[in-house]
Every structure is written in structure tokens, then in C-alpha cells.
């Protein structure tokens, strides 16, 4: 059987700043197989009346542990904040397709919005090539991992909408500045995760200029394995046709030119 | 703590029409994909039957997203019967089952009677298809929905026409939102259906109060999950009391107790739906739980449990 449902044990659970939580789970099966860009489908304990699991990108894998970064935004993630060391929870995964490596000779360029930086950090940590990471968010609280990227030897550029860290403005602003000076089409590939607006903005740039951008999509998911067809995204298919892709199974990473917005 | 028991291996097998199932636990259409999606979790030969997602003639794009929203103890979906169409289904999805023995039940739907008949004719030629389940109750598409499942005359005509073209086991999946379910079950029986399955999801709606808009792009959807289980038990009991053909109990099963309620109410088999999303291995625990129940109650066969309700 090649998909694992595993009882993971909470090894550590802490706040990394005022907003975001870092959950470390001991999950030997999942951790050995996890690839950057994949996610785990978590059954949140003590969440009465829930029928669905919640998908979380994998932020890091260390030994037999996987790490998840999340922000409480609803019933499920609120209940998650109450997890304590030693708690057991059922996880499914790793699921989905991860980020591919950039083509030979191309620089990996990360563009992250908020906790979109989480799966991209995992990507950066496994990438043979060190690249550049553009990290954006509403406030400095949303720039969650700058030091970790730096430690990997990546260059980082930061933008916040309120100007509390880095350049004031959207992350696309600092990306565009870099693009106008350095961004030659066949020399880099983009890796993007964040709000839909950011994904779309980056996809439009990629199409306009002809470089590759790998987007990690975030949708409400049901089964997580491609059965329920709840998390679909319109994409281009062969022969100029279009159809639905399952974000959980066919994604969550798609190349920008595939997506129909 | 283990009591001394006479029964070691109770007989869990049941028969629906011509289909012999090794145990009474199947999957509910739409919650188990086309079998393949869950085959990575466990050996699907362990369950009684696989019911695949609804198939029509031409294929269907389904509804626009958002298509699902979780509610307390349930899920409202408006997938809208997205599917590949019968030809592609036969060519690309059915061969997967060649390496398994599990009975395959194909849920079918159409915009009109002709389409149901066409789909049924195509599928009856495929030896690996064990039975057809007529979907006359999808709350998310105009056709294939209320037009048949909530109208006695249309339902009767549809079953009669499909029955004429196929001699494989025919199951009719009933809608819960009718005033007298017994009447609908009796129509199925008298028109030659081999079994009825119920319930489909219950028509429902969720509103985003901040945006003052429906959450689902389709506005309405179908409620499934534990929230509908007691409703389903009542309807299964009424249907099973009204007909002699087997009844398949569906609706919010998330534990062995839920499955047992259906069986005691008169269901010959049960189908697990939304709970597959919560726990992909739940069918296996339900099968084990039913077996355990029979042992504890000293019952040599599931048959003595079916319809054993005292009122």
C-alpha cells in the first residue's frame, strides 16, 4: 500500500511570533517520503463535528519529524492551537506533487506571500542550487522565515504592505525591480506560494515574459486523494481544450501556463 | 474479559440481486472515486463492493467551484456529477478493476430516460460491471435529479425502460426529500429493480454571512455525513418495511454502530460515504466491527441481524 495514514505524535508545538505556530510531528513514514511542495492531510483532534481533514504544506523534515507552519484562521486551525506535546493525530501523506527542480543552469527564484514561505523553505532546503527568495506579507509578523532562508545561503528580499519590515509594498514590487535588472528569461525559474492574488500576478508576469513559474495552489480540500473532486482548478489541456484538475492529486503545484484564471 | 463463544467466523456475505458480496459494506458513489484513488490505502478486495462515481453518456464538467463546504457533522457538496462519460470510463477507468475481484457497481445518470438507457446498454456489455445503480436523486443537477427521484410517474417509466435493456443487477438510489419513501421503494420493486439504495445527500444550502452570498457556486448542494444519519435510518426502516427486495442503507455512517443501525432497520448492505474522507480505512474497521458484533451476539450469519428491529 503506497499511501500512509499515520498516527503522528506532537513532538513540539510553539509560536514562532504573535501570529504563526510551528507544529513538529514525529511521523516516520511521512517524513521519509516527503518532497518539497507536498502536503499532509491532518485529522485535527478534539474538533467536534468535523468530517474533513485539513491540508498543510510541509515546511521542513528533520529526521523522522515533519514540521508544519500554520496560522489560526478558523475552527480547524483554532482547535489545532490546543495540541500539546505527546498528543497523537492522524495524518495522511505526503500527498500531491511537489515542486520540480529548475532546468539545468537556471536559478531558483522564490516568491512567497505570508506562510506561503513554508513549503518554499522546504524546497530551498533541498535545492542543490542557492537562489533568491522574495518574501512578502501584510506586516513584519507575516515574514516568517527570513533567517532560515539566510542560513541556507539564499539571498533574501523582503516587502511588507505596512512597511514594518523591508520595502513598503507588495512582494511583486521588489520582484519586479529585480526582474527589470536581472531577470533574463532562460536564466531562472520562479516558485510561488501565497494568496491567490499573488499567484495570479506572478502567473501573468511569467506568461508575458515567457519564463517558468511553479505555483502552489491552496483550495478547500475534501478527500485529499483525488476522489471527491471538491478542490478543482480549471486548467488547459492538450489540443486547445480545457478541464478541471484536482488540486490535491494533480497539484498542488502547477506551471503558470496551465492555469485558467 | 473475552467471553467464550460458539461462533468464530460468522458469515458476513450478502446478496443484492445477482451480486454476491463477501460482506455488507460498500462505498457510496462519489466518495470513493473510481476505486483507484483509495487502492493505495488498502486492498479494495476486502470490502463488499465498490460503487464508482456517477457516469452519464457524454461526460460532464460538473459545477463551478467552490464545490464543498464543511458544516457541523456534515459536508455540503455541489460537485455536479463531473465525470468522463461512459466510453472513456469503460476504456480508461474499468481496466483498473481487472486485478481485483471486488464487485463493481456503476452509478449512472442521464438528462433523460434515453440517456440512462444508452449508458446502461453500454455498461451491461462489460463483464466486470456487476450492477448498475440508477442515480435518480442527485440534488446538484437539474436532470438526473428531482425529475425522477421525486416524481413517481417519471421514476416508474425510467426503471421500466432501463430494466428492458439490461438483465444485470439494477439498484435504484432514492432521494430522501419525498413525503412517502415507501411509495418510491414500492415503485422500484414493481418495475423490476433488484434493490434500492438510500439515501442520497439531502438538499441543503450554506450562506457566507459576511458576503451575504451562498458559499457554493451552485448556490445549493447536498448534505452528507453524520448529520443525516438518523434521517437515513428512519427512511431505510420505512423502505425496508415496504418492499421485499434488498435495501442498501446509506447516510452518515461513521462508526460500526451507524452501520448496524441500518442493518437492524432492514438494510441488507450499507454504503460508507463522507467518512471515507475522514478515515480512508473506515470500511475495514466497520467490517471488523460487524463481525465482532455478530460474535458477541452469538449470531452465525449477518442474515439473522438484517431487519431484526423490535418495535
The band of A3, judged by pLDDT with boundaries at 50, 70 and 90, is confident
Instruction: Give pLDDT tens digits along chain B (311 positions).
Output: 555 556 679 999 999 999 999 999 999 999 999 999 999 999 999 999 999 999 999 999 999 999 999 999 999 999 999 999 999 999 999 999 999 999 999 999 998 999 999 999 999 999 999 999 999 987 666 655 667 888 999 999 999 999 999 999 999 999 999 999 999 999 999 999 999 999 999 999 999 999 999 999 999 999 999 999 999 999 999 999 999 999 999 999 999 999 999 999 999 999 999 999 999 999 999 999 999 999 999 999 999 999 999 98
Query: Cell 489560526 belongs to which residue?
Result: A72
Domain span at residue B102 reads 14-63+80-203+225-304
Q: What is the rounded distance in angstroms from the CA atom of residue A188 to the CA atom of residue A190?
A: 7
**Of B124, B135, B175, nearest in space to B158 by CA:** B135
- What per-residue confidence (pLDDT) applies to A4? 82
Closest CA of chain A from B222, distance in Å: 13
Residue B72 resides in a domain: no
Residue B209 resides in a domain: no
Altogether, the residues listed in chain A come to a count of 261
Q: For residue B61, which residues of chain A lie inside 8 Å, CB to CB?
A: 243-244
What's the pLDDT tens digit per position in A247-258?
999 999 999 999
Residue B53 resides in a domain: yes
> Catalytic annotation on B122?
no
- What per-residue confidence (pLDDT) applies to B4? 55
| CB A188, CB A71: distance < 8 Å | no
C-alpha pair distances (Å), B293 with each of B10, B27, B271: 10, 21, 18
- With 60 as the cut, is the pLDDT of residue A184 above it? yes
- What per-residue confidence (pLDDT) applies to B142? 60
Beta bridge partners of residue A212, listed in sequence order: A189
Q: What is the rounded distance in angstroms from the CA atom of residue A170 to the CA atom of residue A73?
A: 22
What's the pLDDT tens digit per position in A112-159?
999 999 999 999 999 999 999 999 999 999 999 899 999 999 999 999
User: What value, to the nearest 5°, has the Cα angle with vertex B55 and ends B52 and B59?
Assistant: 135
- What per-residue confidence (pLDDT) applies to B120? 98
Of A3, A230, A249, the CB nearest to B77: A230
Share of chain A above pLDDT 90, in %: 92
Q: For residue A227, which residues of chain B lie inside 8 Å, CB to CB?
A: 31-33, 37-38, 53, 276
Residue B69 resides in a domain: no
- pLDDT, mean over chain A: 95
Q: What is the rounded distance in angstroms from the CA atom of residue A221 to the CA atom of residue A53?
A: 8
- With 70 as the cut, is the pLDDT of residue A92 above it? yes
HEC profile for chain B?
Answer: CCCCCCCCCCECCEEECCEEECCCEEECCCCCCCCHHHHCCCCHHHCCEEEEEEECCCCECCCCCCCEEEECCEEEECCCCCECCHHHHHHHHHHHHHHCCCCEEEEECCCCHHHHHHHHHHHHCCCCEEEEEEECCCCCCCCCCHHHHCCHHHHHHHHHHHHHHCCCEEEEECCCCCCCHHHHHHHHHHCCCCEEEECCCEEEECEECCCCEECCCCCEEEEECHHHHHHHHHHHHHHHHHCCCCEEEECCCCCHHHHHHHHHHCCCEEEECCHHHHCCCHHHHHHHHHHHHHHHCCCCEHHHCCCCCCC
Q: Write down the catalytic residue from B138, B159, B171, B253.
A: B138
Share of chain A above pLDDT 70, in %: 99
ipTM for the complex? 0.93
What's the pLDDT tens digit per position in A207-229?
999 999 999 999 999 999 999 99
Written as nine digits, the cell of B155 is 421514476
**Of B277, B302, B278, nearest in space to B289 by CA:** B302
Beta bridge partners of residue B132, listed in sequence order: B106, B170
Residue B295 resides in a domain: yes
- Tell me the average pLDDT across A6-23: 96
Interface A–B counts its CB contacts (< 8 A) at: 98
Q: For residue A43, which residues of chain B lie inside 8 Å, CB to CB?
A: 278-279
Q: What is the rounded distance in angstroms from the CA atom of residue A181 to the CA atom of residue A78?
A: 43
Of B32, B43, B75, the CB nearest to A52: B75
Residue B147 resides in a domain: yes
Beta strands in chain A (DSSP E): 5-15, 21-26, 39-43, 54-57, 60-62, 65-70, 88-95, 107-113, 132-137, 155-160, 167-168, 188-193, 212-216, 232-236, 242-246, 253-255
Query: CB B62 to CB A226 under 8 A?
Result: no
DSSP state of A103: P
Question: How many Cβ atoms are within 10 Å of A165's Cβ, its own excluded?
Answer: 18
Q: What is the CATH number of the domain that holds B196?
A: 3.20.20.70
Residue B280 resides in a domain: yes
Beta bridge partners of residue A243, listed in sequence order: A235
Altogether, the residues listed in chain B come to a count of 311
Q: What is the rounded distance in angstroms from the CA atom of residue B303 to the CA atom of residue B14?
A: 8
For the four alpha carbons of A31, A37, A41 and A45, in that order, the dihedral sign comes to: positive
With 0-12 CB in 10 A as exposed, 13-18 as middle and 19+ as buried, what is B285?
middle
Residue B109 resides in a domain: yes
Written as nine digits, the cell of B163 is 430494466
Nearest CA in chain B to A49: B73
| CB A93, CB A32: distance < 8 Å | no
Closest CA of chain B from A197, distance in Å: 17
Beta bridge partners of residue B15, listed in sequence order: B20
Q: How many domains does chain B have?
A: 1
Amino acid at each position: 500500500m503506497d499511501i500512509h495514514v499515520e498516527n503522528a505524535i506532537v513532538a513540539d508545538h510553539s509560536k514562532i511570533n504573535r501570529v504563526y505556530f510551528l507544529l513538529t510531528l514525529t511521523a516516520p513514514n511521512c517524513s521519509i517520503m516527503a518532497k518539497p511542495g507536498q502536503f499532509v492531510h491532518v485529522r485535527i483532534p478534539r474538533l467536534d463535528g468535523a468530517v474533513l481533514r485539513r491540508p498543510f504544506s510541509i515546511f521542513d523534515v528533520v529526521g523522522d519529524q515533519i514540521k508544519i507552519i500554520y496560522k489560526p484562521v478558523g475552527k480547524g486551525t483554532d482547535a489545532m492551537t490546543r495540541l500539546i506535546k505527546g498528543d497523537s493525530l492522524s495524518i495522511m501523506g505526503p500527498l500531491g506533487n511537489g515542486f520540480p527542480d529548475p532546468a539545468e543552469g537556471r536559478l531558483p527564484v522564490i516568491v512567497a506571500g505570508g506562510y506561503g514561505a513554508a513549503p518554499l523553505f522546504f524546497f530551498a532546503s533541498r535545492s542543490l542550487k542557492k537562489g533568491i527568495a522574495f518574501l512578502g506579507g501584510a506586516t513584519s509578523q507575516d515574514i516568517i522565515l527570513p533567517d532560515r532562508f539566510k542560513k541556507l545561503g539564499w539571498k533574501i528580499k523582503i516587502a511588507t504592505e505596512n512597511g514594518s519590515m523591508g520595502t513598503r509594498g507588495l512582494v511583486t514590487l521588489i520582484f519586479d525591480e529585480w526582474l527589470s535588472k536581472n531577470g533574463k528569461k532562460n536564466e531562472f525559474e520562479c516558485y510561488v506560494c501565497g494568496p491567490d492574488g499573488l499567484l495570479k500576478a506572478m502567473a501573468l508576469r511569467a506568461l508575458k515574459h515567457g519564463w517558468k513559474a511553479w505555483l502552489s495552489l491552496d483550495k478547500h480540500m475534501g478527500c485529499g486523494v483525488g476522489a471527491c473532486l471538491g478542490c478543482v482548478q480549471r486548467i488547459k489541456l492538450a489540443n486547445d481544450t480545457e478541464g478541471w484538475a484536482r488540486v490535491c492529486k494533480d497539484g498542488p503545484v502547477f506551471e503558470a501556463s496551465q492555469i485558467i484564471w | 474479559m473475552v467471553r467464550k463463544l460458539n461462533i468464530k467466523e460468522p458469515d458476513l456475505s450478502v446478496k443484492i440481486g445477482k451480486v454476491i458480496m463477501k460482506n455488507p459494506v460498500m462505498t457510496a458513489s462519489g466518495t470513493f472515486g473510481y476505486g483507484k484513488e483509495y487502492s493505495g490505502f488498502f486492498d479494495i478486495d476486502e470490502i463488499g463492493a465498490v460503487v464508482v462515481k456517477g457516469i452519464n453518456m457524454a461526460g460532464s464538467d460538473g459545477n463551478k467551484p467552490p464545490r464543498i463546504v464543511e458544516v457541523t457533522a456534515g459536508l455540503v457538496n455541489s460537485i455536479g456529477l463531473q465525470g468522463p462519460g461512459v466510453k472513456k470510463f469503460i476504456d480508461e477507468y474499468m481496466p483498473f478493476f481487472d486485478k481485483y475481484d471486488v464487485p463493481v457497481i456503476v452509478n449512472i445518470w442521464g438528462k433523460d430516460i434515453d440517456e440512462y438507457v444508452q449508458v446502461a446498454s453500454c455498461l451491461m456489455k462489460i463483464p466486470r460491471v456487476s450492477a448498475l445503480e440508477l442515480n435518480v436523486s442527485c440534488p446538484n443537477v437539474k436532470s438526473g435529479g428531482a425529475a425522477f427521484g421525486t416524481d413517481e410517474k417519471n421514476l416508474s417509466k425510467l426503471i421500466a425502460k432501463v430494466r428492458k435493456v439490461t438483465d444485470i443487477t439494477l439498484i435504484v438510489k432514492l432521494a430522501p426529500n419525498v413525503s412517502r419513501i415507501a411509495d418510491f421503494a414500492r415503485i422500484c420493486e414493481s418495475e423490476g429493480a433488484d434493490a434500492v439504495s438510500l439515501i442520497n445527500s439531502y438538499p441543503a444550502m450554506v450562506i457566507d454571512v459576511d458576503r451575504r452570498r451562498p458559499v457554493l457556486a451552485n448556490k445549493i448542494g447536498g448534505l452528507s455525513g453524520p448529520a443525516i444519519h438518523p434521517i437515513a435510518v428512519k427512511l431505510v426502516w420505512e423502505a425496508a418495511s415496504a418492499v421485499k427486495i434488498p435495501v442498501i442503507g446509506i447516510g452518515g455512517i461513521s462508526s460500526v454502530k451507524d452501520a448496524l443501525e441500518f442493518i437492524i432497520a432492514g438494510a441488507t448492505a450499507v454504503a460508507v460515504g463522507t467518512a471515507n474522507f475522514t478515515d480512508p480505512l473506515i470500511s475495514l474497521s466497520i467490517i471488523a466491527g460487524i463481525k465482532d458484533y455478530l460474535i458477541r451476539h452469538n449470531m452465525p450469519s449477518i442474515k439473522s441481524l438484517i431487519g431484526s428491529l423490535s418495535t
